[in-house]
A = this chain, B = another copy of it.
């Protein structure tokens, strides 16, 4: 069963990404999402996304250039830099999420009440599972 479930989740995720044609690149989305939890250093971001430090330097530079993030010096450690998401960054992320949610909503809407209830319970279970 878990095989079917795993594949079902991946198929849904693929179609959502495929058909929502996002304005933000996947690696940028990932970093912006991390930044919604608060300011973070490039090194911390690199660890979370399992990319190298130079890659994150480039990604952060792109986000700053797009106006979606800002750099500031860490007051406690002169070596560190803190990256913060901007209001424009939050807006861009919100727009993307809205598009993706709309794709899902139009399809879930057509299901029976019973199926929708099952999916609601499944969503809760899957979130717990992803939290582990």
**Interface set of A (CB-CB < 8 Å, partner B):** 1-18, 50, 97, 100-101, 103-105, 107-109, 111, 115-116, 118-127, 129-130, 132
Contacts of A12 in B (CB 8 A): 6, 9-10, 13, 126, 129-130
CA–CA, A126 and B111, complex, Å: 11
User: Main SS of the interface on chain A?
Assistant: helix
Contact present for A1 and B123 (CB under 8 Å): yes
Residue of B nearest to A5 (CB): B123
Instruction: State how many angstroms separate the Cβ of A95 from the closest Cβ of chain B.
Output: 14
Instruction: State how many angstroms separate the Cβ of A108 from the closest Cβ of chain B.
Output: 4
Contacts of A116 in B (CB 8 A): 1
